[in-house]
Structure 1
């Protein structure tokens, strides 16, 4: 039974990727109607994960997977509890609606199939992040979200703004991914665990480690860049260069929530410390205010919503690290509510743009009569975003103030931050939902009318779910929010907040938020002008700083390249051998690992000594050669003498190889040199001669010391015994050396043969190049110019 569940779960994880493979073919045949077929992939995954709701609600967890490298404790495994299951349902459920919405929004686009494919890959990557159990699997899918979002944000690659936004998102989130990888390695080394299902139950093991601070900073680097926390918030609004289906999905259920998911997942093992409860509320609070204030300045519907997403992510991070009893419950409620209303509002913004030809809120009015269904979806979503009953956002708002309210200065500060941020988001919610639809009707670039069912089905569904979740809140808490809060807190939690408000501080703060929001909404144009003047006075922000950073990085890279890659082969070879000499000589000298100098062998025979002398003579001949061809031939003498020495001391196979190498080297070098001017000798100053000679002697001495040290160590016969035992049995060969080269190291030998073949082809191409004399080339060019001049004169 377990194996069947594991197999089906694996299929559910990879269904989006399978859909991505089929998308171009289906779209080529069905056009935009392919959306109905492709939406079945995330819908099937949603149905499978929804089947775990009763078990998760009962307090169980679901794990499974397959071992990959058991010796390193690496596996492809998943872990489903209240947190990961809720995210999986959001990713697949909203993803199903987004696929349908894409079919209506992108209908007729020549690259619709490619867009469908990218969207499904993005969906599969995010689904992998939230259900991953092993660290390796988490990191792989984490980076896949960055790569697929890069493809989606830069989908309209002919526009410079799209390319810049895609590159910016990739650089910021990719850099954060490297920080996360380092943080996961720290956690692995501290705890010895590589699976989330075990880590969340490891207690204080990580918090008590001296490496906790380093691990925390690295993890926060990954989470803050992914979830656009200040000062990394700038990439998220720029990502609005992507088509609206991407924006709706990105902001509601996918990549920007990945950082929040990671913080919530690690809260049981990294939370509860002073560092956690200082850094998260601090950066989250600043991000909340920055995002909300910047949203007021915008007039583009998508940018208004994008900056409120930045603010909402800051609020989630602030709540996750706040540390009060209700803070986790508030974060869970707001995350679910935000996914529903923000996905709906982004799709509404896309419908308005699609049907009117503009997203500028100052140019929109009176659309209620022509787009009634869109207006209802926008209004319902805005009420939830504003935190008003009877929608799920109201429950989240009440719990937020119950979590933050207190008499100490810290609570007062963050409560004030939440009030200001929520009030400004209240303003944006109704600016998006009311201003385009109410008032006198105005002319728009396109004739406004209600969109097709594929467009309004998604936002209407999400806004109605936000209503139903609040009306039937006990059911929603039992199956979704309570299990999710329990997973984040690391202990059993029961969420009880409902639509009936309790008279007290939270309700009073909600009323204050609404009053403040109404006042700003009524003076929105003036507030927008004030914020614009404030930002102009502050000067360029992080977005401009990113451009300066990239430009400086390019200049630095250019200068470093000019320094280390100057195009002179002599410099490259000198640096290579110098580094080799340092590596060979410094460790034994510093570590006192020099070998014992051997004595002169007493039994050496005359002919053996003669070949040693020939090798030395060949080497001296290379040094005193007057031209290059003589040096090549002299180098061959030295090489052949070494080959004979190998033969005399019992290594005929090595000797044969050396003979072949030396023969080929001399022949090839001689052939190449015939294409060069061999008459001049190499004129070098005595300083160059001494420097090159010193490097050569140091390298040779280093190799000699290494070989002496190696031969003086006790001989380990493990490999010898292995090859002697299995060469005949496994490879059916009596020649052990041949068996090692051909069978045990067959791939290595194939690689060596390939290198030699490629080198030979390159040399053959060089030899066959015909050198055209300069005079002949100049005459040919002059003749071509003369013919062209004659043609022009005849015209």
Structure 2
């Protein structure tokens, strides 16, 4: 299926290359202005091709890598759902629809990271990834709602057309921060980066698909998509450049202190994600070209190297780079794929990675504070050279090292993906026009918001970018030769482990559990009276606050004769006092029945005899049932509450009743809106074939609600019967 999807998206390339946009829209929630709208332009089509193309390679790879796993069928189902969610997110032309697919990627990635739930490490990584990305998603949802409010629409196409108005909106700063928080969490920007490296406990197909090529770039996609809207705002550029540069530095340091191949690649992925965010933060057409080119190159070589790392682990029994070497002799095809991917990652010609690195340097040189941006970009690219050396030179060259398993090349299913991706990196480098006109330039134009005229090439003459590329290679080789000592020194910096975001996450979760235990001890007292008291107190305080803070308190006119109403008020008050003064359950139930009968009189005096009759019947039946139940329950004690507890409960009851009275009086003071009553009067006979409005409402217009109430009452009756039977058996000495 992924392969067929890839071919289907390829058919859209001619139209998108000619600046056309393919759209499809269907009504979804018209009352809220939300549509199931999809849109394929250069940027979304590029992502769709990467998702489906790399997805096809991963599906084929997993068929061999995970052969024999008990949960393989579930894995394929979840992986398919993830791919569908990713495609929905990048093709959505409605912000609400995008958020829905966004959260589905978080949910499915949680299931994929926790592929081995019996392992504590897997459970922790899945939980951490889900909580971080889900929290970011909630922030993004708030930003999306505010953005829709500011733009007057949730349509991404229309929002892009109103960029100037939105950027000048008073809430623009808040919108930018909230949306950036969601994008940063999804794309593992510092300090929200730890979950990505920990997610490497997932099987290699998951790491290659989710955490290198697709899901982690979803945040980059969102930032790039909305860049034309917020680029003119003063907060957008410094926010993205700051977090992007910080992420590059953090990822570079952490990548150099690891030996596990997948974690090394994960931290270098964080460096690349920071690079893309930094490039988005730099205004201009050239930065759009740099983002798209680097994104494409990164997806190709990163997925290739992750799959290679999985092959090494699968065939040798280890992925510790310090214990590997000389694998080229026993795994020549894997070594060739790793070498091609590594050279593209290092940014050497004639690979497309070289063109991407040149664009990054050229964009950095034109940025504000260019010396700082160029310095960070130089360090990031030097680390890319080192990581490429770790995965290729360290593992495949040199003398052969003993491994837990005898290494050899895997079958074609596992080799097809990395070999194809590595060859694509070389092909696009030798013939960059193959990717330029059909993929890169249309995607960059979508980011810039207007057509861009640019042609990718490997050689631009002797430029400052060439000098920086040479410097990058020289420093990378020198650093790789000293990597063992450097890694040991960095690994010895215990402060990174003690105070890094990963440890802070653990401390935060421990604090949350301690808070939950304390809160449970305070709130969950086991007393129904306490629960009811807390609920009523909060409700009463909230109602009183809204009445007086919003100036909602008012009194009706009380025109006309009040004699019948006063009689009912006195009767209700007397019944309520009788309930509170009851000395046992029997007298309390009878007194409560008096309250119900008084309410029935209210219905009767206000022209609803049928409703009054129903109330009389239900109240009488309820009294009989309750007396029958209570008579069989062992309630023989008098009120066990102390004097202070009774006074507290009385204060809560009086306060709640007073607030409820004020609310009802304020409602009665407002003009009565008869639109709903008019609807029921008009629709009662033609739609429900009944003239009794109350019965029609209960049986027809509120049929499901009534059915639910009947179901609840039925279940309560069954539960009560079960309790009575259990008590009878216990009393008679039989086992319950």
Alignment length (residue pairs): 735
**In structure 2, distance between residues paired with 1:612 and 1:246:** 69
Q: Deviations over 1:150-185 (max 9, x none)?
A: 111110111111111100100110100001101111
Query: Where in structure 2 are the equivalents of 1:614-693 lying within 5 Å?
Result: 617-693=574-650
- Equivalent of residue 456 in structure 1, options 390, 406, 415: 415
CA–CA separation in structure 2 for the residues paired with 1:628 and 1:461: 80
Single out whichever of 69-78 and 765-774 deviates more from structure 2: 765-774
Distance in 2 between residues matched to 1:529 and 1:700, nearest whole Å: 70
Which consecutive unaligned segments of at least 5 residues does structure 1 have? Answer: 1-40, 781-795
Distance 1:638 1:380, change over 3 A: closer
Equivalent residue, structure 2, for 1:740: 697
Counterparts in 2 of 1:92 and 1:713: CA distance versus 1, 3 Å: same
Tell me if the contact between 2:555 and 2:668 (Cα under 8 Å) persists in the aligned partners. Answer: no
Shift of 1:761: 1.3
Which of the numbers 398, 420, 424 marks the counterpart of 1:465?
A: 424
Structure 2 CA distance for aligned equivalents of residues 775 and 395 of structure 1: 88
Residue 13 of structure 2, aligned match among 53, 70, 73: 53
Q: Which stretch of the first structure deviates more once superposed, 275-284 or 221-230?
A: 275-284
Q: Cα distance, 1:494 vs. partner?
A: 2.4
Partner Cα distance (1:108, 1:592) in 2: 67
Note the alpha carbon deviations across 1:449-480, whole angstroms, 9 max, x for none: 11000011000000111111122212311101
Deviation of 1:501 (Å): 3.9
Counterpart mapping for 1:203-242 below 5 A: 203-242=163-202
| Distance in 1 (alpha carbons) for counterparts of 2:567 and 2:393 | 100
Per-residue deviation, 1:381: 0.5
* Other structure's SS at 1:78 match: strand
Structure 2 partner of 1:760: 717
By how many angstroms is 1:667 displaced? 2.4
Change (3 A) 1:72 1:679: closer
For each residue in 1:244-272, what CA deviation from the matched residue of structure 2 results, as whole angstroms up to 9, or x when unmatched?
00011123321110111111001100124
What's the TM-score, normalizing by structure 1?
Answer: 0.88
Matches within 5 A, 1:296-695: 296-405=256-365, 410-534=369-493, 539-589=498-548, 591=551, 593-596=553-556, 598=558, 601=561, 604=564, 617-695=574-652
Contact 2:437 2:455 in 1 (8 A): no
8 A contact 1:404–1:411 mirrored in 2: yes
Alpha-carbon separation, structure 2, partners of 1:451 and 1:497: 36
Partner of 2:119: 159
Q: CA deviation at 1:636?
A: 2.0
Pairwise CA RMSD: 2.4
Residue from 34, 38, 52 that aligns with 1:74:
34
Partner of 1:789: none
| Superposition pairs of residues 170-249 of structure 1, within 5 angstroms | 170-249=130-209
Match for residue 724 of structure 1?
681
Compute the TM-score of the two structures, normalised by the length of structure 2: 0.95
For structure 2, the 5+ residue unaligned runs are: none
Tell me if structure 2 keeps the 8 A contact 1:49–1:88.
Answer: yes
Contact 2:262 2:306 (8 Å CA) reproduced:
yes
1:577 deviates by 2.6
Shift of 1:531: 2.0
Q: How far apart, CA to CA, are the structure 2 residues paired with 1:78 and 1:307? A: 33
How far residue 129 of structure 1 moved from its aligned partner, in angstroms, is: 1.0
Task: Quote the offset at 1:431 in angstroms.
Answer: 1.6
Say if 2:247 is the partner of 1:287: yes
Using the TM superposition, name which of 294-303 and 686-695 deviates more.
686-695
What is aligned with 1:92?
Answer: 52
Distance 2:368 2:603 in 1: 83
Q: CA deviation at 1:419?
A: 0.8
Secondary structure at the counterpart of residue 450 of structure 1: coil
3-state SS of paired residue (2:386):
helix
- Alignment partners' CA distance in 2, 1:570 and 1:653: 35
State the secondary structure of the residue aligned to 1:716: coil
Residue correspondence of structure 1 range 767-786 to structure 2 within 5 A: 767-770=724-727
Higher mean Cα deviation, 304-313 or 748-757?
748-757
Mapped to 2, the partners of 1:404 and 1:734 lie a distance apart of 77
Aligned counterparts of 1:246 and 1:537: Cα–Cα separation in 2: 27
| Contact persistence 1:399–1:497 (CA under 8 A) | no
| d(CA) in 1 for partners of 2:568, 2:422 | 91
CA deviations on 1:115-168 (whole Å, 9 max, x unpaired) are 111211111111111111111110011001111111111101111111111001
Residues 309-339 of structure 1: CA deviation (Å, up to 9, x unaligned): 0111111111110225522211111110000
